[in-house]
Every structure is written in structure tokens, then in C-alpha cells.
């Protein structure tokens, strides 16, 4: 499975180049035009990326979530929910690298084959960084009114998190 995934990208690139060659596209010129547009895109997304990364890092570094969960821990202990997994579930929509770091930590503490480890793996796999993706994609084209994109995205995340708990429990619990 892993070997196959290592083949996909090279085959994809070679396939595109060969097809373009057969269709007599001027490959090099096409590439340069596209690459130039890519550079323009980077400049367009730069303000949104810098703004969002700054705010999320400030929030995560302040350890607000840590205090929040230690405040909640007496209640959570009653229902046997591991606090670390819950904080990972909350961080997941905000930052991909931060939730990966939490998952890595959980693997060291409980092991990847424990219930917590499997739950964390499922959580990491099941959603994406909603808030970052929204800021990036809408920021790149300067759309200000995002309509119901955020509420729909967060709703999907919430369902995904609940589903991850239930499914992991059914499969491995």
C-alpha cells in the first residue's frame, strides 16, 4: 500500500508530460506560464496565511486549551474520556501540525495500539484543518462574505469527531 502511494506522484507527472508531448503542447512555455501564476498565487495568499498562522499560534501557545481542560477534568473523569484526546479533537480544526504533535505525544504515552492511540489516529485522519483551509482559500481570492462555509465545516468536524469516538469504540473497544 505504501509502495503504491510512492508511485502515484511520479506516474502522475510523467503521464501529464507525455500526454502534453503527444498533443504537441509547448511543454516548457506552458510550464513557465503556470509556474508564474503559482508565484502570483503565493503573493495573493501571503497576507491570509501570515494573519491566520499568527493568530492560531498565539492561541495555542497561550495554553488556553490546557487550562480549559484542567478546569473540566473532574467532570470528564467521571465519564472516562481521556482529556488529551479531547484537546486533540479541538485542536484538529485549527492546526494540522499542532494536532500531529499532540498525536505523537499520545503515541509515546499510551502506544499507537492502545484505545487512545487508535482514537487519535482516526481523529487525525477523519477531518482537516477547517479554519486554516477557509482562511487560505477565501483569502486567496479576497472573498469576504463566506456565507455558511464555516458553520458547515465546523458542523462536519463535530460529526466527524463524534463518529471517530463511536467507530473506534465499536471496532477496537
Partner 1 sequence: MVTFIWIFFIVVGSLTFCVTGHLKELNSFILSGGKDGIELLLEMMPLLVLWTGIMQIAEDSGLLEKFSNLLRPFLSKLFPSLPRNHPALGYIASNICANALGLGSAATPFGLKAMECMQNDNPHKECATEAMVTFLVLNTGGVTIVPTTVISLRMIHGSVNPTEIIITSILATLCSNVSGLIFDYIKRRKKLAKT
* Stretch touching partner 1 by CB under 8 A, among 69-77, 78-86, 132-140: 132-140
CB of 119 to partner 1, least distance (A): 9
Dihedral Cα 126, 112, 56, 142, nearest 10 deg: -30
C-alpha–C-alpha distance, residues 160 and 88, integer Å? 13
Handedness of CA 75, 78, 83, 88 (dihedral sign): negative
Residue 8 to residue 11: CA distance in whole angstroms:
5
Query: Taking contact as CB under 8 A, which single stretch among the options 70-78, 80-88, 162-170 is the one that binds partner 1?
Result: 162-170
- Part in contact with partner 1 (CB under 8 A); list of ranges 74-82, 83-91, 103-111: 103-111
Rounded to the nearest whole angstrom, what is the least distance from the CB of residue 72 to partner 1 in the complex?
A: 16
**Interacting positions 65-94 with partner 1 (CB under 8 A):** 67, 93
Q: Work out which of 16, 73, 76, 173 binds partner 1, going by CB under 8 A.
A: 16
Rounded Cα distance between 173 and 166, Å, is: 9
Amino acid at each position: 500500500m505504501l509502495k503504491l502511494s510512492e508511485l502515484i506522484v511520479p506516474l502522475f507527472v510523467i503521464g501529464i508530460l507525455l500526454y502534453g508531448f503527444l498533443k504537441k503542447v509547448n511543454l516548457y512555455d506552458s510550464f513557465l506560464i503556470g509556474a508564474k501564476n503559482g508565484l502570483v498565487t503565493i503573493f495573493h495568499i501571503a497576507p491570509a496565511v501570515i494573519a491566520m498562522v499568527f493568530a492560531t499560534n498565539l492561541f495555542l501557545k497561550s495554553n488556553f486549551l490546557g487550562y480549559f481542560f484542567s478546569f473540566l477534568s473532574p467532570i470528564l473523569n467521571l465519564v472516562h474520556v481521556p482529556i488529551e484526546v479531547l484537546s486533540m479533537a479541538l485542536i484538529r480544526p485549527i492546526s494540522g501540525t499542532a494536532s500531529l504533535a499532540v498525536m505523537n505525544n499520545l503515541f509515546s504515552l499510551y502506544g499507537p495500539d492502545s484505545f487512545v492511540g487508535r482514537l487519535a489516529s482516526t481523529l487525525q485522519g477523519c477531518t482537516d484543518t477547517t479554519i486554516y483551509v477557509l482562511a487560505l482559500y477565501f483569502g486567496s481570492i479576497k472573498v469576504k462574505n463566506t456565507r455558511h462555509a464555516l458553520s458547515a465545516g465546523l458542523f462536519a468536524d463535530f460529526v466527524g469527531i463524534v463518529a471517530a469516538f463511536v467507530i473506534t469504540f465499536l471496532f477496537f473497544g
